[in-house]
Copies of this chain bind each other. A is one copy, B any other.
Amino acid sequence: MTSRNTVQRSIIEGELRQLTNHPTADEVYEAVHAEHPTISKATVYRTLSRLSDEGIIGHVRINNGADRFDHQSFLHYHVRCVRCGKVDDVMIPVLGGIDEAAARISGYEVSGHTLQFDGICPACQASEASTAERPCA
**Chain A interface residues (CB < 8 Å from chain B):** 61, 63-64, 77, 79, 81-82, 88-92, 95, 98-99, 101-103, 105-122, 125
Contacts and interface: CB of A to CB of B under 8 A. Distances in A.
Number of copies: 2
A111 to B, nearest CB: 5
A115 B106 CA distance: 14
A58 B106 CA distance: 20
A98 to B, nearest CB: 7
A116 B107 CA distance: 15
Contacts of A103: 119
A78 B81 CA distance: 22
Contacts of A125: 109
The 6 lowest CB-CB distance pairs between A and B, nearest first, are A61-B63, A108-B119, A110-B119, A109-B120, A107-B122, A102-B117
A69 to B, nearest CB: 14
Given A63-B61, A115-B113, A122 B102 contact: no
